[in-house]
């Protein structure tokens, strides 16, 4: 999922090149980029850029919709063993061969960060319950107006409950899950289309949807609470840009597959280090 930093995106996809890895990319419709030129600079045989470009709104259902679109397109092309979701600002920390070997050794395991909700430790306040107990039409109204709408619902004591008595979980949407798990998710949505209707009115639904569906299924016994990503939140609502020596030190000891978040210009020193030290190929 990309919306800027396209030179970095090219570098990332080139680092991930392997005969057994296919890459599917969604580019926000608001992004000003020459798609044919971008494809020319990528390995067209292994990279697919989705023609159905959505208007992605921070905090809205459009992020989850985009992620599901990518998973759907990929699963229609091939019956992959694993599906790994990253952003266009996530840099790989291991070689493609090591990446594939990891999943061979851990076949059948689902890698995602999760925590039961409510979790004030992670999301403050009421621990994230407000995200799904109230209506958040972010794509339609924008996040600022949705906050006002949420406050109105509080005054009027309107409240929703999780459908199907699902136990709610939260976590990062950057996940690595099996093909069987992906098929389960789409089968679940086909049998219960109202689930997507519910999550379309959740704030940041991509950070609740996958964890809730997977942890309420038989796949829960295979879940490893580690998405193999290094992300530094440092108490901010958005991930820190990784551009310091301490970031290099932390990345080296993280045992992660990807680190985020990077910008090509401001992170030149860290990216050069990763290219030279961690990815010598």
**Nearest Cα residue to 87 out of 70, 75, 102, 103:** 70
**Nearest Cα residue to 77 out of 104, 47, 105:** 47
Look-up of token digits 């709408």: 149
Q: pLDDT (tens digit, 9 = 90+) per residue, 222-251?
A: 999 999 999 998 867 789 999 999 999 999
What CA–CA distance (Å, rounded) separates 50 from 246?
36
What CA–CA distance (Å, rounded) separates 100 from 16?
10
What is the reported pLDDT for 280?
A: 55
Cβ atoms of 46 and 14 closer than 8 Å: no
What is the reported pLDDT for 21?
A: 97
What is the reported pLDDT for 219?
A: 99
Query: pLDDT tens string for the chain (281 positions)?
Result: 999 899 999 999 999 999 999 999 999 999 999 888 898 888 778 999 999 999 999 999 999 999 999 999 999 999 999 999 999 999 999 999 999 999 999 999 999 999 999 999 999 999 999 999 999 999 999 999 999 999 999 999 889 999 999 999 999 999 999 999 999 999 999 999 999 999 999 999 999 999 999 999 999 999 999 999 999 988 677 899 999 999 999 999 999 999 999 998 999 999 999 988 766 55
Q: pLDDT (tens digit, 9 = 90+) per residue, 51-93?
A: 999 999 999 999 999 999 999 999 999 999 999 999 999 999 9
Concatenate the DSSP letters of all residues of 193-224 into one string.
THHHHHHTTSSSGGGTHHHHHHHTSGGGGGEE
Q: What is this structure's pTM?
A: 0.94
- The percentage of residues in the chain with a pLDDT greater than 70, rounded to a whole number, is 98
What is the reported pLDDT for 44?
A: 77
């Amino acid at each position: 999922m990309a919306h800027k930093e396209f030179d970095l995106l090219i570098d990332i996809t080139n680092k991930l090149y392997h005969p057994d890895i296919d890459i599917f990319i969604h580019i926000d419709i608001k992004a000003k980029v020459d798609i044919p030129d971008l494809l020319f600079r990528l390995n067209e045989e292994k990279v697919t850029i989705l023609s159905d470009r959505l208007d992605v709104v921070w905090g809205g259902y459009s992020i989850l919709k985009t992620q599901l679109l990518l998973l759907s397109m990929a699963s229609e092309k091939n019956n992959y063993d694993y599906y790994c979701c990253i952003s266009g600002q996530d840099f790989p920390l291991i070689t493609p061969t090591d990446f594939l070997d990891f999943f061979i050794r851990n076949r059948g395991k689902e890698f995602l960060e999760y925590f039961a909700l409510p979790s004030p430790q992670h999301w403050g306040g009421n621990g994230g319950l407000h995200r799904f107990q109230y209506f958040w039409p972010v794509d339609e109204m924008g996040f600022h107006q949705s906050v006002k709408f949420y406050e109105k619902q509080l005054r009027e004591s309107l409240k929703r409950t999780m459908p199907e008595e699902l136990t709610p979980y939260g976590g990062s949407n950057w996940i690595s899950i099996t093909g069987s798990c992906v098929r389960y998710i789409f089968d679940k949505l086909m049998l219960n289309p109202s689930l997507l209707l519910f999550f379309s009115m959740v704030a940041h639904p991509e950070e609740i949807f996958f964890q809730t569906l997977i942890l309420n299924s038989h796949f829960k016994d295979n879940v490893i609470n580690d998405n193999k990503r290094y992300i530094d939140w440092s108490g901010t609502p958005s991930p820190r840009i990784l551009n310091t020596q301490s970031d290099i030190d932390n990345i080296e000891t993280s045992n992660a597959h990807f680190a985020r978040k990077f910008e090509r210009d401001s992170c030149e020193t860290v990216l050069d280090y990763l290219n030279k030290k961690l990815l010598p190929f």
